């Protein structure tokens, strides 16, 4: 197995507020890396740095053997990084299909003609095909979460970054989303998966990384990470929904 | 009765031209989230470019558009990429101030090259009318302005809905950050949007140049019209701009009809002010 992503001692700040004071880890191709940590730990910030919305002040991000630390988000998308938002941000005035089409053409470099069957496949896989002509602004939360994933898949990613896809969903809906992620894993996609529902994370990830105030508390086997004392302390008093 | 009908027709036709004057500004507001204070000056710049082309070749001002449109598109693309894109991430004010600077530079460039003398693009068609009855006449040039306004706006609507570049522009207008994550090169998209905006300014500039005299400082008056149309229509709404242009044109011409010619501008701006107070989001904002 080869390393597809290497994060090397990155420091991330919003303006003067330092959020991540030096963080390193590696992700192997085809693996699912879970990222857990309490609210405000810097999970979304880490994702923003990986995707290029914020540029680390120090350190390097190597993707597929290439230094992408300073690349803008659209270039990273072309290389194969896709993400979802914790709070879905669909293009509300466009249909579900068009939402996926934008990334499938501009992100994956397909012509519209070639993108069409691909979009259809992605929509079927994410359970949105029946709603392809619905305006994205009219979707339920579950479908918006699905659209986040569909849109990211449309760009043909090598790594998919999921930011709390299960947050805000009912138990049954969480199950749906978990199944979808499991399906995606089978296709060999590398996934970095931020989530708060810890129980499921242990079952469905290959490696688990725990963040607290921007620092790496523990990184390794999911069960070992969960059983580690520091991690348990961080989660003490936090409900395991 | 004829006089009222004549005013109604004139107001609607004028409105199509107003929509054309405002549509480019509306686009840039909707897509780049930028109030382009130089929009009127760009429009007049196009009038002058057409003037030079006509003077050099003797071609009809309409035909000069085959030169003026590409030149204005290029100017828009370059201005966006070399100036505005540089400051776009620094908040709302810096790009606004840059457009203000561009406005002043254009006015002074025009003053330098063309002097302060009045110019126009008069052609024989500007004075001809279709005579319906004794009291009702439709001036050709206004009819053309109206039709061109509609064609441009419908074409833009089609472009945004049915081309993949148009969809990227729509996506970028909706959520710039997410559009980037979908692989859309936002700076290039903004450049194209400004090019399109300047294309509409080119067409509007040639039309108004055929109807009215223009001076290096005339842009300010057109900025105000564009601004009025954009505000009434709801910032960034394409078809709203068309409806707003017609409403604004009607308000002006009806004002002139009932209160005398000197009230034309006043009634237009009173309607604008009422709009700003009661529906600041515009009549047609989704
Ligand atoms: N755009 C921002 N500007 C300044 N501070 C931010 C911004 N976004 C998040 N933060 C702060 O950064 C910290 C980490 O936030 P975040 O990465 O969203 O945490 P998590 O996703 O783990 O809940 C929080 O203290 C938050 O308040
Ligand atoms: Mg978060």
A172-227 pLDDT tens trace: 888 888 888 889 989 989 999 998 766 777 888 899 888 888 877 788 888 788 77
A239, pLDDT greater than 70 = no
Kindly state the tokens that stand for B228. Answer: 């009025």
The answer as to whether B254 is a domain residue is no
The residue whose C-alpha atom lies closest to atom 3 belonging to ligand 1 is A14
The answer as to whether A145 is a domain residue is no
CB contact under 8 A, B181 and A83: yes
B86 alpha-carbon distance from chain centroid: 25
CB contact under 8 A, B183 and A94: no
Higher pLDDT, A41 or A216: A41
Burial of B143 (0-12, 13-18, 19+ CB in 10 A): middle
B213 alpha-carbon distance from chain centroid: 17
The answer as to whether A217 is a domain residue is yes
Q: What percent of chain A has pLDDT over 70?
A: 96
Task: Give the dihedral sign, CA B172/B175/B176/B180.
Answer: negative
The pLDDT of residue B192 is 95
CA dihedral angle for residue B120, residue B126, residue B127, residue B133, rounded to 10 degrees: -150
Give the whole-angstrom CA distance, residue B270 versus residue B272.
5
CB of B164 less than 8 A from some CB of A: yes
CB contact under 8 A, B181 and A72: no
| Alpha-carbon distances of A205 from A32, A185, A191, A220, B69, rounded to whole Å | 5, 10, 9, 10, 57
CA atoms within 13 A on the CB side of B79: 26
The answer as to whether A40 is a domain residue is yes
Which A residues 14-53 touch B at CB under 8 Å? Answer: 51, 53
Are the C-beta atoms of B275 and B231 separated by less than 8 Å?
Answer: yes
The answer as to whether A135 is a domain residue is no
The residue whose C-alpha atom lies closest to atom 18 belonging to ligand 1 is A44
| Alpha-carbon distances of B255 from A65, B6, B22, B259, B271, rounded to whole Å | 69, 13, 21, 6, 10
The residue whose C-alpha atom lies closest to atom 11 belonging to ligand 1 is A40
The pLDDT of residue A241 is 44
The pLDDT of residue B286 is 52
CB contact under 8 A, B182 and A78: no
Q: What is the DSSP letter of B107?
A: H
The pLDDT of residue A145 is 93
Minimal Cα–Cα distance from A32 to chain B, Å?
21
A106 alpha-carbon distance from chain centroid: 20
Q: Which of B177, B182, B185 sits opposite A151 (nearest CB)?
A: B182
Q: What is the DSSP letter of B124?
A: G
Q: How many domains does chain B have?
A: 1
Helix, strand or coil, per DSSP, at residue B34: coil
Domain encompassing residue B202: 21-219
Contacts of A77 (CB under 8 A, 6+ apart): A103, A107, A155, B180, B181, B182, B183
Domain encompassing residue A1: 1-78+192-241
CB of B162 less than 8 A from some CB of A: no
CB contact under 8 A, B170 and A93: yes
Which atom of ligand 1 lies nearest, measured to the CA of A48? 17
CA of B201 to the centre of ligand 1 (A): 43
CB contact under 8 A, B181 and A112: no
**C-beta neighbour count of A173 within 10 angstroms:** 17
CA of B15 to the centre of ligand 2 (A): 49
Minimal Cα–Cα distance from B94 to chain A, Å?
19
The answer as to whether B238 is a domain residue is no
Are the C-beta atoms of B2 and B133 separated by less than 8 Å?
Answer: yes
Minimal Cα–Cα distance from B91 to chain A, Å?
14
CA of B148 to the centre of ligand 2 (A): 50
Kindly state the tokens that stand for B196. Answer: 């399109």
CA of B250 to the centre of ligand 1 (A): 51
Q: Which of B77, B98, B66, B95 is nearest to B196 (CA)?
A: B77
Interface test with A, best of B167, B181, B238 (most A CBs within 10 A): B181
The answer as to whether A199 is a domain residue is yes
Q: What is the DSSP letter of A236?
A: T
| CATH number for the domain that contains residue A47 | 3.40.50.300
The pLDDT of residue A39 is 87
Low-confidence stretches of chain B (pLDDT beneath 50) = none
Output the ligand 1 site: residues, CB below 6 A. A 14, 17, 19, 37, 39-45
Interface test with A, best of B89, B178, B234 (most A CBs within 10 A): B178
The pLDDT of residue A236 is 61
Q: Which of B230, B4, B194 is nearest to B102 (CA)?
A: B194
A220 Ramachandran zone, left/alpha/beta (phi>0; psi -120 to 50): left
Residues B255-264: contacts with CB under 8 Å, at least 24 apart: B256/B7, B257/B3, B257/B4, B257/B7
CB contact under 8 A, B286 and A93: yes
CA of A43 to the centre of ligand 1 (A): 8
The answer as to whether B171 is a domain residue is yes
CB contact under 8 A, B164 and A154: no
Give the whole-angstrom CA distance, residue B127 versus residue B162.
39
Q: How many domains does chain A have?
A: 1
**C-beta neighbour count of A176 within 10 angstroms:** 16
CB of B217 less than 8 A from some CB of A: no
């Amino acid at each position: 197995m080869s390393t597809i992503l290497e994060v090397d001692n990155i420091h991330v700040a919003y303006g003067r507020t330092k959020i991540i004071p030096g963080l390193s880890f590696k992700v192997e191709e085809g693996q699912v890396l879970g990222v857990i940590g309490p609210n405000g730990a810097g999970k979304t910030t880490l994702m923003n740095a990986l995707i290029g919305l914020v540029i680390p002040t120090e350190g390097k991000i190597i993707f597929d053997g290439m230094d992408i630390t300073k690349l803008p988000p659209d270039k990273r998308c072309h290389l194969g990084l896709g993400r979802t938002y914790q709070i879905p941000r669909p293009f509300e005035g466009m249909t579900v299909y068009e939402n996926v089409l934008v990334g499938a053409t501009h992100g994956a470099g397909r012509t519209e003609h070639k993108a069409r069957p691909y979009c259809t496949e992605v929509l079927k896989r994410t359970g949105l095909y029946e709603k392809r002509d619905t305006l994205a602004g009219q979707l339920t939360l579950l479908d918006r979460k699905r659209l986040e994933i569909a849109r990211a898949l449309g760009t043909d990613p090598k790594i998919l970054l999921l930011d709390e896809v299960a947050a805000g969903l009912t138990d049954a809906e969480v199950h749906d989303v978990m199944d979808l992620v499991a399906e995606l894993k089978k296709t060999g996609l590398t996934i970095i998966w931020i989530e708060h529902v810890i129980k499921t994370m242990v079952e469905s990830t290959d490696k688990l990384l725990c963040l607290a105030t921007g620092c790496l508390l523990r990184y390794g086997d999911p069960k070992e990470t969960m059983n580690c004392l520091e991690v348990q302390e961080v989660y003490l008093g936090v409900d395991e929904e | 009765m004829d006089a009222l009908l004549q005013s109604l027709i004139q107001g609607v036709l004028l409105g199509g031209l107003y929509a054309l004057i405002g549509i480019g500004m509306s686009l840039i507001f909707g897509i780049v989230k930028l109030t382009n204070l130089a929009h009127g000056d760009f429009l007049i710049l196009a009038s002058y470019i057409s003037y030079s082309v006509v003077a050099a070749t003797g071609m009809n001002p309409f035909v000069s558009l085959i030169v003026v449109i590409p030149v204005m598109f290029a100017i828009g693309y370059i201005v966006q990429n070399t100036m505005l894109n540089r400051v776009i991430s620094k908040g709302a004010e810096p790009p606004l101030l840059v457009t203000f600077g561009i406005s002043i530079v254009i006015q002074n460039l025009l003053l330098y090259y063309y002097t302060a003398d009045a110019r126009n693009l008069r052609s024989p068609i500007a004075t001809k009318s279709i005579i319906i009855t004794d009291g009702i006449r439709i001036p050709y040039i206004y009819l053309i302005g109206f039709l061109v306004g509609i064609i441009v706006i419908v074409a833009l609507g089609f472009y945004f809905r049915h081309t993949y570049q148009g969809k990227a522009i729509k996506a970028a207008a909706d959520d710039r950050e997410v559009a980037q994550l979908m692989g859309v090169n936002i700076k290039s998209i903004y450049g194209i949007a400004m090019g399109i905006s300047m294309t509409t300014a080119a067409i509007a500039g040639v039309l108004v140049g055929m109807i009215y005299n223009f001076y290096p400082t005339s842009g300010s008056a057109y900025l105000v019209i564009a601004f009025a149309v954009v505000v009434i229509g709801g910032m960034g709404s394409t078809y709203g701009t068309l409806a707003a242009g017609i409403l604004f044109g009607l308000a002006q011409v009806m004002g002139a009809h009932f209160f005398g010619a000197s009230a034309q501008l006043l009634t237009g701006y009173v309607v604008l002010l009422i709009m700003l107070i009661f529906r600041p989001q515009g009549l047609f904002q989704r």
